[in-house]
Amino acid sequence: MALLGWSLPLIFLPGLMVIILSGNGCHGDKGCPPPTHSFNFSVLPVADSTDQVQEVMFMGVVGPFDEKRVCKIKCIDGRWVGPLCSLQQDSNRFQSMFRPCHVHNIPKHTIITYKQRQITPSPELEFPHGSVINGRCQQPGRYKLLGDAILTCTNASWKGKLPVCIQSNYFTNYSDSAPPALEWSIAGGRGMVDVAGSLVLLPGSILHLDCLYPRLHGNPNWAWTSAYRQYPTGWAINRQERELRYRLSLYYAKTDDSGVFTCTTPNGRDNYLHILVKEVSCAPVSSSELLKVEGDSVGLGDTISFSCPTGYYLNGPNKLTCLPSGEWSAPIPECLVIHCPVLTPSDPRLRLHSNNTTYLGSSVFSCLPGFMLEGPEVITCTANGTWSYPVPTCREVICEEVKAPAHGSVKYPLSRRVGDSVFFTCNPGYVLRGHSLAFCTQSGTWSHSSPTCLESCIHPGEPEHGHVSPRRPRYHVGATVLVTCKPGYRPAGPDRLTCLAIRRWSAPLTICVPSFG
């Protein structure tokens, strides 16, 4: 393959390329100066420009499924040429990267696969030179394939004709205007359709292959490419089937039975099915310390299931099927530790005290003083890798308004935030029972409940040579005061006075008289 001369900056993007190289022409036979290069469009440092280099290797990502390939450029006659990339992921063989191929659209009822995986066309999807794709019908037998089942990319062109699937007479009430439909049943053994649309049978299987065509229109004809033996044909024995199904039976299949089996109707329309008889087995998969495997059969169509212990999640499918290619339907999954997303609160008022992102780990939150959590204080990492609740938010704490007590009033501050206080007073003739001051607390409630204003008596006065206690400007109904006299004097009346409901004292103020007189 011819190499590409390289003297201008080159952007090499086969599929998706992660490294971009650029270089200049050079002279001399010893080598070329190291090319400058960049990663993700950022220029990286290079070796000493006086060094002479013969070859530069780098990692490329090639093809629709981002296959990693080792690529290189080589210095030939003082010029960088290439790139060349390895044929396989771990191969030491390199080839020039010719132009890739594209699949712009896929005909209806047609399935295109690449490396055992079905593809969906898109302008960005590129297949490197040398890629092989397979085409088959959605339901082989009920559709007839026109075109090539295998296509190879050769320098931007597909070698082969993209297949098209046309409907059989299954969709036209078994008319003569369409190819006959083919259906099969496996009476013993096992079979499965592969990526190319072939029916793969295990040796020893028993197959009944039916050509659907109305018996009253005549007898179809079966033909086959295998020269190994003759196969019995005729209308099905079952009464409900024999008017429509012209059957070919293959008993105890052997590898020599492989070939193309074609049914042709009396009017010349035909349909075919490729049958491949072979032993199929996939590589055994054993349980590991983490990955638990259920099932040990590894033959065609066998399935195995996977599970992980608590605290781990399955990275990949939980069930695989052994395909006709002898490969499992997907890579073997692995058990990875469950991690929830790292939390980075955007609210500056929210504080994250711990953030354990592993399974059953907790994240603990609080708010700055003056703010209150909206949501749980603690959230937990669950088995599906998500947090048990959304991240909480912080709202400012505002205490509710309080009503003024009956026969009194309340004085509010400018706000009712944490630390703000309210003042209670009573109207003239009333006295306050409770706290006259209350503060807004962090919980959003007031430190004390509203007081009450009770009817009151005014201070009775002070007797000469005596004292009234307790001394207050007003006394609520039911309050009692004590009258005491100085030494050498005594009360001339009751020494206790009580504030009555009529807001008067129970007796006039007692006077103090000399003890001897």
pLDDT digits (tens, 9 = 90+) for 197-246: 999 999 999 999 999 999 999 999 999 999 999 999 999 998 889 999 99
Residue partners of 198: CB distance under 8 A and separation at least 6: 273, 274, 275, 276, 324
| pLDDT over threshold 90, residue 7 | no
Question: How much is the pLDDT for 30?
Answer: 60
List 71's β-bridge partners, or say none. 58, 85
Q: Look up the pTM and report it.
A: 0.59
Q: Do 127 and 133 meet the contact criterion of CB atoms below 8 Å apart?
A: yes
| pLDDT confidence band for 11 (50 / 70 / 90) | very low
Question: How much is the pLDDT for 185?
Answer: 94
Token digits of residue 201: 């049978």
Phi, psi of 53 (to 5 degrees): -120, 140
Q: Which CATH superfamily is domain 408-455 in?
A: Complement Module, domain 1 (2.10.70.10)
How many angstroms separate the CA atoms of 158 and 138, rounded?
Answer: 22
| pLDDT confidence band for 18 (50 / 70 / 90) | very low
| pLDDT confidence band for 51 (50 / 70 / 90) | low
| pLDDT over threshold 80, residue 92 | no
Q: Do 258 and 279 meet the contact criterion of CB atoms below 8 Å apart?
A: no
Mean pLDDT of 142-146: 93
Choose the CATH number for 169-277 among 1.10.600.10, 2.130.10.10, 1.20.120.80, 2.60.40.10: 2.60.40.10
Topology given in CATH for the domain delimited by 459-514:
Complement Module; domain 1 (2.10.70)
DSSP 457-475: EE-----TTEEEES--SEE
Topology given in CATH for the domain delimited by 110-167:
Complement Module; domain 1 (2.10.70)
Mean pLDDT of 490-505: 89
Question: How much is the pLDDT for 380?
Answer: 95
Q: Please report, as a single letter, which amino acid is at residue 257.
A: D
Closest CA to 302 of 274, 281, 317, 330: 281
Mean pLDDT of 128-157: 89
Question: How much is the pLDDT for 81?
Answer: 75
How many angstroms separate the CA atoms of 76 and 53, rounded?
Answer: 11
Q: Which CATH architecture has domain 350-396?
A: Ribbon (2.10)
Closest CA to 196 of 118, 134, 132, 288: 134
Total residues belonging to the chain: 517
Q: What is the mean pLDDT of the chain?
A: 84
Which of the given ranges, 36-40, 138-142, 454-458, has the highest pLDDT on average? Answer: 138-142
SS percent in the chain: helix, strand, coil, step 5: 0, 45, 55
Mean pLDDT of 305-312: 92
Peptide bond into 83 cis (omega under 30): yes
Residue partners of 454: CB distance under 8 A and separation at least 6: 430, 431, 432, 433, 476, 477
| Lowest mean pLDDT across 57-71, 161-175, 270-284 | 57-71
